[in-house]
Amino acid sequence: MCVMAAETLLPSASPVRFVAEDGTRADQHGAYAEPPERLLKEAYRLMVLGRRFDVQATALTKQGRLAVYPSSAGQEACQVAAALTLNEHDWLFPTYRDSVALVARGLKPGEVLTLLRGDAHCGYNPAETRVAPQCTPLATQALHAAGLAHAMQRRGEDAVALALIGDGATSEGDFHEALNFAAVFKAPAVFFVQNNRYAISVPFEKQSAAAALAYKGIGYGMRSEQVDGNDAVAVLAVLGDAVKHAREGRGPVLVEAHTYRIDSHTNADDATRYREAGEVEKWREADPLKRLETYLKGRKALQENEIEQFKADAETFAQSVRDALNAEPELDPMSLFDHVYAEPTRQLEAQRAMVHAELEA
């Protein structure tokens, strides 16, 4: 690769940003265009909804209605932007922490939380929703996204696959294999790394010596970018451009969002054992929801009555979450054998028959 070509792949020297922490304009976005106002308001609405969903899901773990819940509080700009930059034909490949992205995509809360409740591996139909099952093993969804993107490309489909990835997953071999494969075949894929500073209890500086995770794409010949992950305007602009780049057949894109996980890794984790309270409070000041609200109000694009309506709608949504999770699930033990193989093997059929006989006994 020539030097000129390599330079075109480099991310911005500092994260792309449109809005500062205090909600004022920040001109650190290069040639990126600001998203239309209607999209920013929709992002704000969904971020309000997503934060209320996150609080409600966390509460449900304390009531025993959820087995576990990995909060994405503080990462709402990334979650919502991932959903809004895709169209209905595109595919989203989420991790276990991306429930808010699924809600923003339009999935029902009961379906989204099926995995975290422990009822089934997935509570929705991936083929219908174009959302892959939430992935618990680190980075395996990156391979799935690369493979499906290549398959859609070969079939001539006008669609993009977007994989949500945590910073810890970039240390896994699957992440690198996915980037290499997608870059070689110019698959229409976007790899979106939410760098929330911690892989469970391991801080970023103990995970990678790279100046930024965005630079990891360069070695594979992949266009890369880094963005302020708490600036919803910037994330929408950068992700929208990345999806457009991939859709036009110009190859995959790696985007790193610099954000922060406000709550513990999950409700089973005690984050006070490995990080200071002052660090968390510093990041609370960069709250993506408050930042976008202040920015839109300053432009007179968001009124107080609209804010109150969005909050009221979020409360109604939270009630629907409680109703869905308070209802006892109707589980069919025989469904264990569904979707294991396209054509069941003799061994699987024998196991099915054995379980069926035990249930009938």
Interatomic CA distance for residues 122 and 210, integer angstroms: 35
pLDDT per residue as tens digits for the range 272-288: 999 999 999 999 999 99
Token pair recorded at residue 203 = 């801080």
Grade residue 6 by pLDDT with cuts at 50, 70 and 90.
Answer: confident
Identify whether 210 is part of a domain: yes
Q: Which domain holds residue 182?
A: 6-330
Identify whether 176 is a catalytic site residue: no
* 86 falls within a domain: yes
Give me the catalytic one of 17, 105, 258, 261: 261
CA 126 – CA 170 distance, rounded (Å) = 25
User: Does one domain contain both 351 and 292?
Assistant: no
DSSP 326-348: HSPP---GGGGGTTS-SS--HHH
The 10s digit of each residue's pLDDT in 90-114 is 999 999 999 999 999 999 999 999 9
Please confirm, yes or no, whether 265 is among the known catalytic residues.
Answer: yes
Q: What is the DSSP letter of 206?
A: G
Helix (H, G, I), strand (E, B) or coil at 195: strand
CATH code assigned at 179: 3.40.50.970
Predicted confidence band of residue 258 (pLDDT cuts 50, 70, 90): very high
Q: Is the pLDDT of residue 3 over 50?
A: no
Catalytic residue among 51, 97, 265, 291: 265
**Cβ burial, residue 92 (10 Å; 0-12/13-18/19+):** buried
pLDDT tens digits, one per residue of 194-237: 999 999 999 999 999 999 999 999 999 999 999 999 999 999 99
With CA atoms as reference, report the closest residue to 11 among 227, 184, 167, 236: 227
Report in angstroms the alpha-carbon separations of 117 from 103, 113, 314.
Answer: 16, 6, 22
| Residues 297, 347 within the same domain | no
User: What is the per-residue pLDDT for 64?
Assistant: 94
The pLDDT assigned to 39 comes to 98
- Mean pLDDT of the residues in the chain: 96
Q: How many domains does the chain have?
A: 2
Q: Given a cut of 70, is residue 2 above it in pLDDT?
A: no
Helix axis angle, 76-84 to 288-298, nearest 10°: 70
The one catalytic residue in 96, 197, 274, 322 is 274
Q: Is residue 291 part of a domain?
A: yes
Residue 165 tokens read as: 């990835």
Does one domain contain both 341 and 307?
Answer: no
First to last CA, the chain: 68
Would you say residue 144 lies in a domain? yes
Tell me the mean pLDDT in the region 148-156: 98
Q: What is the mean pLDDT of residues 232-259?
A: 98
Lowest mean pLDDT among 98-102, 114-118, 334-338: 334-338
Establish if 304 belongs to a structural domain: yes
In this structure, is residue 252 part of a structural domain?
A: yes
- How high is the pLDDT of residue 361? 85
Spatial distance between the Cα atoms of 122 and 308, rounded to a whole number of angstroms: 34
Q: Average of pLDDT values for 31-46? A: 98
Q: Would you say residue 36 lies in a domain? A: yes
Name the band, by pLDDT with cuts 50, 70 and 90, for residue 1: very low
- Assess whether 14 and 140 both reside in one domain: yes
Alpha carbon of 317 to those of 64, 91, 101, 161, 326: distances in Å?
20, 25, 15, 28, 14
Give the residue among 58, 6, 56, 15 at the shortest CA–CA distance from 195: 15
1 found inside a domain: no
Question: Looking at the DSSP assignment, which residues form a beta bridge with residue 162?
Answer: 92, 190
pLDDT of residue 7: 82
- Three-class SS state of 320: helix
Q: DSSP state, 133?
A: P
- Are 242 and 341 part of one and the same domain? no
Q: What is the number of other CB atoms lying within 10 angstroms of the CB of residue 80?
A: 30
Contacting residues for 102 by C-beta, under 8 A, at least 6 apart: 83, 92, 94, 112, 131, 134
Same domain, 21 and 149: yes
In a shared domain, residues 34 and 44: yes
pLDDT of 48-92, one tens digit each?
Answer: 999 999 999 999 999 999 999 999 999 999 999 999 999 999 999
> Would strands 25-28 and 91-93 be described as parallel, antiparallel, or unpaired?
unpaired
pLDDT at 4 over 60: no
Residues 349 and 259 occupy one common structural domain = no
- Shared-domain flag, residues 132 and 279: yes
What angle, rounded to 10 degrees, do the helices at 37-62 and 232-247 form?
110
Whether residue 269 sits in one domain with residue 346: no
Residues 269 and 346 in one domain: no
Are residues 231 and 189 both part of a single domain?
yes
What is the pLDDT, as a whole number, of residue 130? 98
Tokens of 274: 């490995």
Mean pLDDT of 326-339: 89
Give me the DSSP letters along 55-94.
HHHHHHHHTTS-S-----TT-HHHHHHHHHTS-TTSEEE-
